[in-house]
Chain A
Amino acid sequence: MNILVCIKRVPSPGTRIVLSEDKQEIVTKNLGFTISPHEECAIEEAIRVKEKFGGTVTVLTLGGSLASEQLRYAMAMGADEAILLQTDGKEWDPMATSNAISDAVKSKDFDLLLFGNESADYGGYQVAIRVAYALNHHCLTGVKSIEIDEGQITAGREAFGGMEIFKIPLPAVVSLKEGINLPRYPSLPGRMRAKRKQIEIIEPIKLPGGIETKQFVSPPELGSHVEILGHGVEAVPKLLSIIKELGFIHK
């Protein structure tokens, strides 16, 4: 079972995202970088599938040279190989990104291509699906459980308070959501192994996409209008009358 996991290097912001003066980018000077949470789960899931069925796990990202940090992290977790679609580090829109990924992997015969449901920063909800169409694979998104059996993948996703179940044949593209597992931390030996591994670097061709970012805007800050009802249990009666006012006490 050869698995590809597509990940993205994203900053890890605090409680306020700071924009550059020209509003063209997020100020990341003091921020760490990480892998989008859904994708970290995808790496974990891939490693678990590999541990069960054998094969290899390859991680891929599109980004600047610094994105190799995230590839190494994934390898430290247990991925075997890594591919960097190396760009100048500027953001590519979802069409351009998925074109580059499909181009890079179409000759590589992966049985399972895992993505995160959406990236933490861009949130385009489409790269996995576009890659699936380009490779002529079936595709599922928003998945929170998978089982693999005889060339078929059974996937569940949350719906209407329960789960809805899909079954598709391999090879397939599946985008996962956080919660499918609790991703492991890389071990020290894992880090050492990852350090010594080669990363395959491909310079992708950027096809024109369809969305062009003009600028970023911080959402308007809401002025605080909080009413402090009091301290401790003494404030409970006040709270109750408010809940009542709002109509949540039946009688």
Chain B
Amino acid sequence: MSSFPKNAKVVVIGAGIVGNCMVYHLAKLGWNNMVLLDKGPLPNPGGSTGHASNFLFTVDHSKEMTLLTLDSVKQYKELGVFTQSGGIEVARTPERMEELRRRMTSSKSWGIESFLLSPKEVKQLAPFVNEEIILGGFHTPSVGVVDSLRAGTLMREYCMEKDVLTISSNTEVLDMVVKDGAISQVVTSRGTIDTEFAIICCGVWSPRIAKMAGANIPLTPAVHQMISVGPLSLFENTVGEIEYPIVRDMDTFCYERQNGSEMEVGSYAHRPILHEPDDIPSIEESSLSPTELPFTEEDFDPQLEQALELMPELLGEEQAGIRYAINGLLSLTPDGFPLLGETVEVKNLWSAAAVWIKEGPGIGRMVAEWMTNGYSEIDPHHSDISRFYDYAKSKTHINARTSEAFNKTYGIVHPREQWSSNRNIRISPFYFRQKELGAVFFETAGWERPQWYESNQGLLEEYGDRVNKRPHEWDARWWSPIINAEHLVLRERVAMVDLTAFAIFDISGPGALDYIQHMTVNQMNVKVGNAVYTPLLTPDGGFKADLTIMRTGEQSFRIVTGGGDGGRDKKWFIDHLPKDNSVHFMDCTSSLCTIGVWGPLARKMVQSVTEDDLSNEAFRFGTAKEIRIGGMKIWALRISYVGELGWELYVSTDQGLKLWDTLWEAGQNYGIVPAGIGVYGTTGRIEKGYRLMGAELESEYNPIEAGLARRKVKKADFIGKQAYMKARKEDPTAILCTLSVDDHTSSSGIKRFMQGNEPILNLDGKGLVDGEGRRSYVTTAGASPSTGKYLLMAYLPVEYAKPGTKLLVYYMAESYPVTVEIAGSKPYFDPDDSRIKS
């Protein structure tokens, strides 16, 4: 046996599918001196990879997860470990049929071939299905199964051939040593390794390993039950592993997957059974393996009956037995997405956890690229571990959310659906006033934000037909027409919006200007008091963030970004702070609260409570200054994400309630209403063509394509500049456009309203794909109450990105005519920005 390594460039902990994919892709990117550890034996160290059912369904509503899965399929195919079987999701209820139609939408958006099937057609493909109890199916031919253990072996072999990897199985990590905030040593049962990087790929054990370093990987091990029944006579002649499509019985949260002569039946329907990472038994103490826990029959019994109901003859065979039954452990996270990226707490300590077999290779590539270049081809936006604030990493939160989420694994989850557990984590000082006003709260980053106010119900009558209604329950779920009415008040009178969820960072010090210049695309060397909206780019010129930065002093800046992006942006800023301590970073989020006051009457109204001059001449658009309202020191910023005259008013949190009450009282003379995030986040911005990070803005597109390029480029160097300059010289292949829906009427006569993520088709019904292979889909959909139109934003290939072009949008398996209104960033409503600048 070769001696145990003393040092390494990177130690990868965990040799399940993720760890193997990590070393494989790092090796491809030129890394060497890597060590791969696992406390178990190889090739099956006893984690979730060893017992997973190993199938992958390609269609997901999330673009990010779908792209990762498609990349994984491609890689599994290259390794020769993929067997295509096709997969059918069957519906037993009308509601599920609607969900299957929605899946058709997603499959078209991400370019995956899928079909809706009648019960008869389902039976043709899967003859063992009882077609009498189903209403239809959603068939994806590209679904398949993989040999994940074999894939891991091949990936390790690749690294061994390149001589860049030492593998040490049966090696337990005992401690993680951190020095100066960065990982420096991994202490194992075989010795200590000095290392520059470490990656935690330990699945259900990840939190335990992270904790050793003082880092936090917020996941919980949870049970997924599975049995295997066989040998089945129908499968007698099956050559290889699988002959029939995998069936997902969506309404019972079960799947049935052929494995040779047996059928595996798995369930996500039982009560959530959570475990503690420290309580997982050791290999020696386990009956089967540490992640194959004893089967609890009573939890599975209802599923057994449902499975029998769906496949009575096949599973009812008396000669076939239940040959294997486990409570398998898998990882659940508070929001269902993986936990990827460098940990917030420890430099050079990376997390690649909560990853399913279906995403493993894609995620391996993504994280390897990210570690190597600082960015990745697929945007890790929703998977970035830094998205979680501290509260979200607590056991209380993890357990509450994962328990709630578990039965949503196959659930019908509305894109706006709200969590019910562990709410009210962060509330603004206005919370109780808002409650009195009947606010319906949506959560962002733990903050409770009013989406609309039931107290504005009366406005519906006031505005009558100008407020569009949504007749279909799905379209109207987690939504209210009141939003559109609030919008109209904001455009016609004045409205106040709670913006306390903003993340606010103050930057100061002698190096502040250079630092901010380095971070941002737009010119930051502006007059003190000026505010600049700017993108932040990744090194390859894709979007990392978009936010507003104020110059608050010669050597100080204030950064304001969305609450949902605050965690990621904060890490990005902190990661790039100069080493010489010339810049000081302070997170002021909790010390300030914010109210936006906007509308044609906003100036008059705010002026009524302040002695400071708010005239257009004295207080220009895009500037910030301190004013006094009711004796309180207010930091006022004249800016608007809804394209309207007004200010964001910042005050220290303790005085927030007083500010709210003062404005509210003053507003009564102007017909003020509170407006929710429904206006701020969608209707207000979409008709103004304002972009949203994570929707329109993502690392796949650059500022030119997004229509955010300024005429001039600043001299100062900044992250992504080279790529940005290059992109400026080239003709863009796609342009972000605003489209309007010409006719909402569906075949059943009901008007339908798109919700986002729908594919844009040409008039022949073909999906649009740009020169770089990127598909056109709706990045945001929403009403424009000011114009009475329903708008969609989408990147379109340049040849279609012309006002007046007629296209189709595909929603719930039907096409609707649309027209391109705007190509680029010009607002659809108030194109000259006269309101905002008035």
Contact = CB atoms under 8 A, between A and B. Distances in A.
* Touching chains A and B, CB distance < 8 Å: yes
Interface stretch (A80-88, A132-140, A182-190, A236-244): A182-190
Interface string B293-332: 1110100010011011000000111111111000000000
B320 A188 contact: yes
A161 interface: no
Interface string A143-154: 000000000000
A228 B321 CA distance: 42
A187 B322 contact: yes
Interface string A217-251: 00000000000100000000000000000000000
A192 B304 contact: yes
A71 B286 CA distance: 24
B531 interface: no
Contact of B286 (A14, A186, A189, A192): A14
Nearest to A11: B287
Given A184-B321, A188-B316, A188-B322, A32 B287 contact: yes
B301 A195 contact: yes
A30 B308 contact: no
A192 B284 contact: no
Contacts of A13: 285, 287
Nearest to A28: B294
B229 interface: yes
Interface residues of B, number: 30
Contact of A32 (B285, B295, B316): B295
B181 interface: no
Contacts of B323: 185
B1 interface: yes
A30 B294 contact: yes
B321 A187 contact: yes
Contacts of B293: 30, 32
A52 interface: no
A18 B318 CA distance: 38
A167 to B, nearest CB: 33
Interface string A166-200: 00000000000000000011111111100100000
A135 B116 CA distance: 67
Contacts of A189: 308, 316, 318
A31 interface: yes
A186 B227 CA distance: 12
A187 to B, nearest CB: 5
A12 to B, nearest CB: 4
B307 A14 contact: no
A33 interface: yes
B285 A192 contact: no
B4 to A, nearest CB: 15
Contacts of A15: 283-284
A195 B301 CA distance: 9
A190 B318 contact: yes
A16 interface: yes
B831 interface: no
Interface in A25-72: 27, 29-33, 69, 72
A14 B317 contact: no
Contacts of A18: 285
B94 interface: no
Given A13-B287, A14-B287, A15-B284, A186 B322 contact: yes
A188 B315 contact: yes
Contact of A14 (B281, B297, B304, B320): B281
A47 B288 CA distance: 28
Interface string B272-297: 00000001111111111000011101
Interface residues on A, range: 20 to 34
A12 B285 CA distance: 10
A29 to B, nearest CB: 8
Contact of A186 (B294, B307, B316, B321): B321
B330 to A, nearest CB: 16
A63 to B, nearest CB: 16
A14 B293 CA distance: 11
Contact of B308 (A11, A192, A228): A192
Interface string B248-292: 000000000000000000000000000000011111111110000
Query: Max chain B CB contacts within 10 Å: which of A11, A32, A189?
Result: A32
A11 to B, nearest CB: 8
A187 B319 contact: yes
Interface in A189-217: 189-192, 195
Interface in A1-18: 11-16, 18
Nearest to B280: A30
B305 A16 contact: no
A76 B323 CA distance: 13
Nearest to A231: B1
Contacts of B321: 184-187, 190
Given A30-B293, A185-B321, A190-B318, A14 B284 contact: yes
A185 B322 contact: yes
Nearest to B227: A188
A21 to B, nearest CB: 15
A47 to B, nearest CB: 12
B322 A14 contact: no
A32 B283 CA distance: 14
B286 A30 contact: yes
Interface string B314-353: 0111111111000000000000000000000000000000
A192 B284 CA distance: 34
Contacts of B284: 14-16
B320 A30 contact: no
A30 B286 CA distance: 7
Interface in B336-378: none
Nearest to B284: A16
A76 B229 CA distance: 13
Nearest to A189: B316
A188 B229 contact: yes
Contacts of B305: 192
B791 to A, nearest CB: 53
Query: Max chain B CB contacts within 10 Å: which of A13, A186, A191?
Result: A191
B47 to A, nearest CB: 15
B301 A14 contact: no
B319 A16 contact: no
Contacts of A187: 229, 316-322
A185 B231 CA distance: 10
A69 B293 CA distance: 16
A177 B633 CA distance: 88
A14 B284 CA distance: 5
Nearest to A12: B287
B308 A188 contact: yes
B318 A14 contact: no
Contacts of A11: 287
A25 to B, nearest CB: 14
Contacts of A31: 285-287, 294
Contact of B281 (A30, A184, A185, A191): A30
B281 to A, nearest CB: 4
B264 to A, nearest CB: 13
Contacts of A186: 321-322
Contacts of A191: 301, 304, 322
Nearest to A34: B287
A28 to B, nearest CB: 9
A76 B301 CA distance: 13
Query: Max chain B CB contacts within 10 Å: which of A11, A15, A30, A184?
Result: A30
Q: Give the top 7 A-B pairs by smallest Cβ distance, nearest first.
A: A185-B321, A32-B294, A16-B284, A30-B281, A12-B287, A14-B286, A15-B284
19 contacts: A16-B284, A16-B285, A29-B279, A30-B287, A31-B287, A31-B294, A32-B288, A32-B295, A69-B297, A185-B322, A187-B316, A187-B321, A187-B322, A188-B307, A188-B316, A188-B320, A190-B321, A191-B301, A195-B301
Given A13-B285, A32-B293, A185-B322, 9 more contacts: A14-B285, A15-B283, A16-B285, A30-B280, A30-B286, A31-B294, A32-B288, A186-B322, A191-B301
Interface of B: 1, 229, 279-288, 293-295, 297, 301, 304-305, 307-308, 315-323
